[in-house]
Amino acid sequence: MHSKEAIAERFKVLQDYICKHLELADGTGKFHEDLWTRAAGGGGRTRTIAGQQIEKGGVAFSAVHGPLPAAILKSMQLEPADFFATGVSIVLHPHSPMAPIIHMNVRYFETSDGRWWFGGGIDLTPHYVVEEDARYFHEALKSVCDDFHPDFYQKFKDQADDYFFIRHRQETRGVGGIFYDYLDEKSGLSHTQLFDFALALGQLFPHLYAEMLQRSQSRTWGESEKQWQMLRRGRYVEFNLVWDRGTKFGLETDGRTESILMSMPPGANWVYNFQPAPDSAESKTLTRLQKGIDWLNA
Amino acid sequence: MHSKEAIAERFKVLQDYICKHLELADGTGKFHEDLWTRAAGGGGRTRTIAGQQIEKGGVAFSAVHGPLPAAILKSMQLEPADFFATGVSIVLHPHSPMAPIIHMNVRYFETSDGRWWFGGGIDLTPHYVVEEDARYFHEALKSVCDDFHPDFYQKFKDQADDYFFIRHRQETRGVGGIFYDYLDEKSGLSHTQLFDFALALGQLFPHLYAEMLQRSQSRTWGESEKQWQMLRRGRYVEFNLVWDRGTKFGLETDGRTESILMSMPPGANWVYNFQPAPDSAESKTLTRLQKGIDWLNA
């Protein structure tokens, strides 16, 4: 079993790896780093990019520790203890409406009374759903999951459908992906194997997004696609601020606001009661923002 | 004591009055009406405007009824009963960064077991704080409050400072205003007087905003002021989606999403860790977004 310090160090290396490969995929953008410390213990390095393909992106590492916040004690029914939490979080918003927004998070949590667990997920939010891209994305996630446990993909895919759901819109955020939390030895995997699973997802991530950017490059777009992208970014804001547990928890427990809201798009629009034209590409996308779609065979 | 039906009818007349005077203030914009019904009982008429001064605005009336939602029973520790709720809600986003965003809500709530109360508020969110405008705004609110109760203005002004506070930014949403809730006979005023107070605020509202628009017209602005407005609109989104109790409650209890999110700006931007230049107008505004400022003497 790796020590918590070793896990944090390895996550920093993962952050470096992801940033390097995302710069290569973008072509011109370079990450800028912002180091911060947390008064109650720990800190992080938040890296942001504005490039030729990625309009606004962030790849954040943090490792924080201290007494468990009262809100966690209550929601998880834990006894007072110290905690240690480390992870890498990413959200990338592309310039092109024909490329998807992507999100990834891998995290590790441990308490001074001996509990530990892993959590994480990757999900894709196309402004326009392209079924071949969704299939490619899910196949890649399934391949990594299958290397670790035959049940992981389907279970975590279903959890992503439930988690990345904008309830007040009755829409999924995008085409889903995988989401898992509180993963410990009851999963059948050891601490080391679960850590390896997180690293395998993290190492896949930049290549997966490079492929998505590559596929989008031949797709032309104009003002009307840009307007749709701005509305879909509004939905992304709505999900993150209203429903995302990590965002809500961070903001309500005085986390570092700028790192938490690194996920916000560069811009977003709202139009009262917007309805796309029947049979338009926008309408078709809305019909695909539903739970339970088998993207491997879509 | 007015019946709940009479209150709803009078609120409709108030909505008409406000819309008429806002159209006059804007000059060219006209409201479009959207009628809706609620499956569990009641409905509303949501009116939206896009004009030459008001870029995106909404003035919504609703009157809904049915069994009290489980979430209200729990949060207010009430016994199961039927409720009736009616009110008028407004948010207006101007084109000009030199004019403020404004919000108003007046509402009435009653239950089948005999409880009733009024709630409401008006608050102003300038993109650039202009102290004379904030003073004018607060003086006008104080004047209406003083007609009803000598303690109302100060009490409700303090409550607005606390309510319209973006905790994760440690900023107020703007220069505040008044906010009140659960106002019943314990206030010292009768049901009829409290209703009259709500109507007096509602009737002041369009004239107050007309004055704000008028004052902004001679103020020039360019791209840099527009960019700041987009960032401040981002804060408005953050407040409404993360902290506003009405918005959160509505979205979590399956209210009518398009009417609830009528408050969203037409567009909003986010920039990672944006810091305005020292001594700029933007920096100066940030220093005024604090609780407890006596705007009457600022």
Q: What are the pLDDT digits (tens) for A121-176? A: 999 999 999 999 999 999 999 999 999 999 999 999 999 999 999 999 999 999 99
Tokens of B56: 């995106």
A79 vs A212 pLDDT, higher one: A212
How confident is the model over B16-23, as a mean pLDDT?
98
pLDDT at residue B78, as a whole number: 81
Choose the mutation target among A54, A273, A274, A275 for the interface with B, i.e. most B CBs under 10 Å: A273
- A72-85 pLDDT tens trace: 788 778 888 999 99
B1 pLDDT higher than 90:
no
- A221-272 pLDDT tens trace: 999 999 999 999 999 999 999 999 999 888 887 889 999 999 999 999 999 9
Q: Would you call B103 a catalytic residue per the annotation?
A: yes
Residues of A in contact with B268 (CB under 8 A): 237, 267-269
A66: left (phi over 0), alpha (psi -120 to 50) or beta: left
Of B56, B254, B268, the CB nearest to A268: B268
SS3 of residue A57 by DSSP: strand
One-letter-per-residue 3-state SS of chain B: CCCHHHHHHHHHHHHHHHHHHHHHHHCCCCCEEEEEECCCCEEEEEEEECCCCEEEEEEEEEEEEEECCHHHHHHHCCCCCEEEEEEEEEEEEECCCCCCEEEEEEEEEEECCCCEEEEEEEEEECCCCCHHHHHHHHHHHHHHHHCCCCCHHHHHHHHHHHHCEEHHHCEECCCEEEEEEEECHHHCCCHHHHHHHHHHHHHHHHHHHHHHHHHHCCCCCCHHHHHHHHHHHHHHHHHHHHHCHHHHHHHHCCCCHHHHHHHCCCEEECCCCCCCCCCCHHHHHHHCCCCCCCHHHC
Choose the mutation target among B168, B228, B271 for the interface with A, i.e. most A CBs under 10 Å: B168
Of A48, A169, A267, the CB nearest to B268: A267
Confidence of residue A34 (pLDDT cuts 50, 70, 90): very high
Annotated active-site residue in B93, B103, B127, B138: B103
How far away is chain A from the Cα of B154, in angstroms, using its nearest Cα?
A: 28
pLDDT at residue A92, as a whole number: 98
What is the rounded CA–CA span in Å between residue A200 and residue A152? 14
A288 pLDDT higher than 80:
yes
Block residue for tokens 């989008």 = A216
B285 pLDDT higher than 90:
yes
Of B48, B258, B270, the CB nearest to A261: B270
Residues of B in contact with A58 (CB under 8 A): 272
A117 pLDDT higher than 90:
yes
pLDDT at residue A254, as a whole number: 80
- B226-266 pLDDT tens trace: 999 999 999 999 999 999 999 988 888 778 999 999 999 99
pLDDT at residue B233, as a whole number: 98
pLDDT at residue A218, as a whole number: 96
Given 3.40.1500.10, 3.20.20.100, 3.40.930.10, 3.30.230.10, which CATH number is that of A4-297?
A: 3.40.1500.10
Contact B258 A237 (CB under 8 A): no
pLDDT at residue B187, as a whole number: 96
How far away is chain B from the Cα of A228, in angstroms, using its nearest Cα?
A: 13
- B136-193 pLDDT tens trace: 999 999 999 999 999 999 999 999 999 999 999 999 999 999 999 999 999 999 999 9
Contact B34 A273 (CB under 8 A): yes
What is the rounded CA–CA span in Å between residue A228 and residue A230? 5
Of A62-71, B10-19, B113-122, B258-267, least confident by mean pLDDT is: A62-71
Tokens of A44: 């992080």
Q: Where are the domains of chain A?
A: 4-297
